Amino acid sequence: MDVSKITQTQEYIIARHSKMVGKILDLVEASLPEGNQCDKLKKLLQIPLYDFRNEMIQLDSRGLPDPD
């Protein structure tokens, strides 16, 4: 993604998403003992969260995808 072409809506999506991810990871840390399991879970959780963020940014720039 070209950073110079980010819209205000996309900036908003990124900012709100970052706050949400931070809150989720804080909750995971609070509920699990520190260690490898906690770190691995946090990394695994980030994958679908960032996939969703990227999908929302694409939605903003391209609109809704055509139904199959």
pTM equals 0.77
How confident is the model at residue 1, as a pLDDT? 56
Domain locations in the chain?
29-60
Over the chain (68 residues), the average pLDDT of each successive run of 10 is: 78 95 94 90 95 93 80
**Can you say how many angstroms the Cα of residue 68 is from the centroid of all Cα atoms in its chain?**
25
In angstroms, rounded to a whole number, what is the distance separating the alpha carbons of residues 68 and 11? Answer: 29
How confident is the model at residue 34, as a pLDDT? 85
Q: How many residues does the chain have?
A: 68
How confident is the model at residue 3, as a pLDDT? 60
